[in-house]
Amino acid sequence: MANPAILTVDDDPAVSRAVARDVRRRYGDRYRVVRADSGEAALAALREIKLRGEQVAVILADYRMPVMNGIQFLESAMDLFPRARRVLLTAYADTDAAIDAINIVDLDHYLLKPWDPPEEKLYPVLDNLLEVWAATPDISATETRVIGHRWSAPSFAVRDFLARNLVPFRWLLADEPEGGRLLAAADLSPADVPVVITSDGKALAMPSESDLASHVGLSTTPASDFYDVIVVGAGPAGLGAAVYAASEGLRTVLVEQRATGGQAGQSSRIENYLGFPEGVSGAQLTDRARRQALKFGAEILSTREVVGLEAAGTARLLRFGDGTSLAAHAAVLATGVAYRRLDAPGLSDLTGRGVFYGSAATEAPSCSGEDVYIVGGANSAGQAALHFARYARRVHILIRGASLTSSMSRYLIEQVEREPCITVHPRTEVVGGYGDDHLETLTLCDRSTGATRTVKTSWLFVFIGAEPRTNWLEGVVSRDERGFIVTGPALLRDGQRPAGWSLPRDPYHLESSLPGVFAAGDVRADSVKRVASAVGEGAMAVTVVHRYLEAQ
Ligand SMILES: Cc1cc2nc3c(=O)[nH]c(=O)nc-3n(C[C@H](O)[C@H](O)[C@H](O)COP(=O)(O)OP(=O)(O)OC[C@H]3O[C@@H](n4cnc5c(N)ncnc54)[C@H](O)[C@@H]3O)c2cc1C
């Protein structure tokens, strides 16, 4: 991080140079001396420093400057750096200025020009102010900062996107002093949030995910227009395929619409993945896989949704939402599943404002001391309940069935049962939600009696009915009645190959009804919905891609 700044501002160039020179001589090794020749220029410099997340220790301002005098300048400077120590320079004793300065800007020192010799008149003052400042430095950092409203779906989407892509950031409310100061520094207002201040000081108001991706160092455009293999979806299956394909020398691009990790990236602790006896967080596991894929030379494109697939001769062409396309000899579809929406009245408007699909890890600390409701009885819901139990007053798991035994692994049921603040509500479903600014109440129905009751809560996390999002493959590859991609021997009907199949061989394992297009992981019909099997299928898909390429 850059050294903290000492800012000097004086409209007389000779005085400005002299003060900067004297300050630099004594403090230049520990502080950056920033010089400005007007109040406006100094404020612009302070705004830039603020956006970069750096600190200002002391501000020395001349009193008599045109347009904006020293006190007016210090007043505005305080909005940006309230803890910077403040010194006013005057040419002669000006009692009115001194009184104003003390009353308006809580001045630390009033310095008469000239200050020769500095060893006697300037340095002792600055030594003392720097000591005071260092004891209570600004809380700032060069990390990414997000300024938003507490209950705002777009603000949540930005935080969720950064968290899932493992970009560290600091979250600030627009109506908190520091959030307000950053908005002012960027010349923005609370109406412009969410605002992201990148680590290099750029302010992005209401950024799209692709804007955000490119500013936080995620790649969004391919380096080439033709690859050996395109992998769609960067969950465990896609990451597995990319690692094996790239490590085996195939020119590989992995395309992800949102964040690497897929569903696994949302898991707070995966305990049944081989080789991690203590468990591993999904974020950690998938970040390692992402780095491994990059190390072997795979390209990873973020925020690129694939919306179409077609055969162009022997090439397989994938189209993106923005109309551009990418071609390869083969494709691996590893697009997984997404949670079904809960369609009880009132809930859809509250998505991102108290109603969340998946675990929304960024929200957990905000649930402190409150009641949290989780819908779903599978492992994902169990893990989320255990995670939220570390923060919430009480966690309620709502399930339609009589117990968790048919849907959740035994080891998780035992942990849920041991946790005193988790209550499982069998045969219970959400039939309504209400909230003005955000979720305030839920209406629950007891399925055995039909009785309904209303509970107060601001937090509902939904983990139900994962379904594939494969409509874009309609008419291109065979899918089952629920949209999962049918592969390999399952494509044969009474020994007959699928309609339109052009090759004198049966489809390989994991191969779809379009030769050269493979499916791996949760999106594949009859797949085992587990991290290990998804990774395994990703690796196996690469073996069949090799076989396919050799026969071409
Ligand atoms: C909270 C949670 C906890 C879990 N815990 C465990 C556990 O402990 N143990 C276990 O074995 N399993 C667990 N699972 C299940 C496991 O995570 C999944 O089985 C696994 O992630 C499936 O991997 P996948 O790569 O097939 O699909 P996904 O993980 O679903 O990844 C698919 C990816 O494809 C992307 N994508 C989709 N469509 C497109 C498109 N058109 N263009 C570009 N990209 C696209 C998605 O954004 C996503 O990133 C858990 C799941 C959840 C949600």
Q: Give the tens place of pLDDT for each residue, 320-345.
A: 999 999 999 999 999 999 989 998 99
For the segment 341-356, the average pLDDT, to the nearest whole number, is 94
Angle among Cα 319, 320, 321 to the nearest 5 degrees reads 130
Q: What's the token pair of residue 431?
A: 């039939």
For the segment 204-218, the average pLDDT, to the nearest whole number, is 92
Residues facing residue 9 across a β-bridge: 36, 61
160, 161, 266, 267: which to mutate for ligand 1, most atoms within 8 A of CB? 267
80-94, 195-209, 409-423: range with lowest mean pLDDT: 80-94
Instruction: Tell me, in angstroms, the distance from the centre of ligand 1 to residue 133's CA.
Output: 49
Residue corresponding to tokens 């409209």: 11
Q: With a cut of 90, say whether residue 238 has pLDDT above it.
A: yes
pLDDT: is 67 or 298 the higher one?
A: 298
Contact 467, 340 (CB under 8 A): yes
Instruction: Tell me, in angstroms, the distance from the centre of ligand 1 to residue 236's CA.
Output: 7
Residues near 99 by Cβ (< 8 Å), separated by ≥ 6? none
Q: What is the pLDDT of residue 364?
A: 82
Q: What is the pLDDT of residue 552?
A: 85
- Residue of the nearest CA to atom 7 in ligand 1? 270
For the segment 471-488, the average pLDDT, to the nearest whole number, is 97
Q: What is the mean pLDDT of the chain?
A: 92
Q: With a cut of 70, say whether residue 442 has pLDDT above it.
A: yes
Which atom of ligand 1 lies at the shortest distance from residue 538's CA? Answer: 25
- Residue of the nearest CA to atom 41 in ligand 1? 306
Confidence of residue 137 (pLDDT cuts 50, 70, 90): low
Q: What is the pLDDT of residue 366?
A: 86
Q: What's the token pair of residue 180?
A: 């307000």
Instruction: Tell me, in angstroms, the distance from the centre of ligand 1 to residue 332's CA.
Output: 15
Q: With a cut of 90, say whether residue 222 has pLDDT above it.
A: yes
Q: With a cut of 80, say whether residue 502 has pLDDT above it.
A: yes
pLDDT: is 5 or 362 the higher one?
A: 5
Q: With a cut of 80, say whether residue 53 has pLDDT above it.
A: yes
Q: With a cut of 80, say whether residue 44 has pLDDT above it.
A: yes
17-31, 315-329, 352-366, 497-511: range with lowest mean pLDDT: 352-366
- Residue of the nearest CA to atom 35 in ligand 1? 233
Integer Cα distance of 234 and 255 in angstroms: 7
Q: With a cut of 60, say whether residue 415 has pLDDT above it.
A: yes
Q: With a cut of 90, say whether residue 248 has pLDDT above it.
A: yes
Q: With a cut of 60, say whether residue 152 has pLDDT above it.
A: yes
Q: What is the pLDDT of residue 167?
A: 83
Instruction: Tell me, in angstroms, the distance from the centre of ligand 1 to residue 38's CA.
Output: 56
Q: With a cut of 90, say whether residue 359 has pLDDT above it.
A: no
**In the structure, which protein residues have their CB atom closer than 6 angstroms to any atom of ligand 1?**
232-238, 255-258, 262-264, 266-267, 270-272, 305-306, 334-337, 358-359, 379-380, 383, 469, 521-523, 529-532, 534
**pTM of the full predicted structure?**
0.78
Side chain identity at residue 527, one-letter code: S
Asked if omega into 114 is within 30° of 0 (cis), the reply is yes
Q: With a cut of 60, say whether residue 509 has pLDDT above it.
A: yes
Q: What is the pLDDT of residue 83?
A: 86
Q: With a cut of 90, say whether residue 31 has pLDDT above it.
A: yes
69-83, 219-233, 249-263, 480-494: range with lowest mean pLDDT: 69-83
Q: With a cut of 60, say whether residue 140 has pLDDT above it.
A: no
- Residue of the nearest CA to atom 38 in ligand 1? 335
Contact 335, 323 (CB under 8 A): no
Instruction: Tell me, in angstroms, the distance from the centre of ligand 1 to residue 159's CA.
Output: 19
Q: What's the token pair of residue 424?
A: 């499982």
Q: How far is CA 402 from CA 133, 343, 358, 444, 552, in A?
A: 62, 22, 23, 16, 54
For the segment 158-165, the average pLDDT, to the nearest whole number, is 89
Q: What is the pLDDT of residue 278?
A: 79
- Residue of the nearest CA to atom 26 in ligand 1? 521
Integer Cα distance of 462 and 484 in angstroms: 21
Q: How far is CA 260 from CA 160, 208, 337, in A?
A: 13, 17, 14
Give the 3-state secondary structure of residue 151.
Answer: coil
Pairing mode of beta strands 517-519, 459-462: unpaired
Instruction: Tell me, in angstroms, the distance from the centre of ligand 1 to residue 367's CA.
Output: 25
Confidence of residue 4 (pLDDT cuts 50, 70, 90): very high
Report the percentage of the chain scoring pLDDT > 70: 98
Q: With a cut of 70, say whether residue 203 has pLDDT above it.
A: yes
Instruction: Tell me, in angstroms, the distance from the centre of ligand 1 to residue 213's CA.
Output: 20
What sign results for the dihedral spanned by CA atoms 209, 212, 216, 220? positive
Q: With a cut of 90, say whether residue 102 has pLDDT above it.
A: no
Q: What is the pLDDT of residue 1?
A: 67
Confidence of residue 142 (pLDDT cuts 50, 70, 90): low
For the segment 266-277, the average pLDDT, to the nearest whole number, is 88
Q: With a cut of 80, say whether residue 139 has pLDDT above it.
A: no
